[in-house]
Amino acid sequence: MPYPFEYAVVNKSEEKLFRDKLPHVSSSIPELFRTMSIAYRSIEQRNIYGKYGGLRRDNGFETSLNLVWVAMLNDHIIGIDADISTYVDVLRALCLKWYQFGNSLDACLFFGYYFYLFNSQSKFIVRDQIKDLKFLIDNANRTTQDPATLSLIKPSYSGAWYQTDQGIGDKMSNIFIKNGDLSKVGLPLPGYQLTFSETYQYDLRAPHFISEEQIEKPVIQDGKVIISCPKCRQRCRGAKFEHIEMTCPKCSQKWTQKI
């Protein structure tokens, strides 16, 4: 079964833009992909329960990861004082883009294994790495405002999430995360951690965390469904079906979602 992000479409002209606008990242991310590919091949063997059964070997991964953090700071796409979730989400966007340029799928699967499935452990390691970098990098809080550069790391999700009995989805894309791949958390911010611990169908288009305040649960009354427009937040009403297509009467925004 293909992974949800596997056939994501990319404009090939973006590769030149990526190399021009992010020279430090472009020189360091190939080594990160090489080490992640090796690491994934060491764990991809599964046991009879479908869980990873290999012995993880990722020599060089954490070193190359550290170099990518430095590259991100030197290219000014993130500030040294950004929170760890922001670091991981920007790296996710960079890895997804690099994969779309024709690079290793296995590397992306190890990213999913490391940053989604073992989120708590990976955040602890990243936090230590960033803490050490604060003593090495000057002027790292200056982030770029260049629109072309920012377009390379823009979110692949809309942030307009909805919840059904089966899981959580994005109104403006076909991203949908099943309940078994979610872990509800209360601190430090109530929401859902994406782990993909049931299906292992990692989707690098999705963030690793969705806060509860970003999620809407449709209101159903008398065979009708009431939901908010993802663009203007207008409350919209429509017939209840398992899968609906909506058009906002106020701003004409169209979207689809499951109910």
Write out pLDDT tens, residues 212-228. Answer: 999 999 999 888 999 99
| Three-state SS at 229 | coil
On whether both 103 and 179 belong to a single domain, the answer is: no
76: left (phi over 0), alpha (psi -120 to 50) or beta: left
Predicted local confidence at residue 116, as pLDDT: 96
On whether both 99 and 212 belong to a single domain, the answer is: no
Task: Report the chain's mean pLDDT, rounded to a whole number.
Answer: 90
Integer Cα distance of 186 and 175 in angstroms:
23
On whether both 54 and 170 belong to a single domain, the answer is: no
What is the domain count for the chain? Answer: 2
On whether both 55 and 183 belong to a single domain, the answer is: no
End residue of a domain, out of 118, 151, 184: 151
Domain contains 3? no
Percent of the chain with pLDDT over 70: 93
- 216: domain range? 161-258
Domain contains 20? yes
On whether both 146 and 173 belong to a single domain, the answer is: no
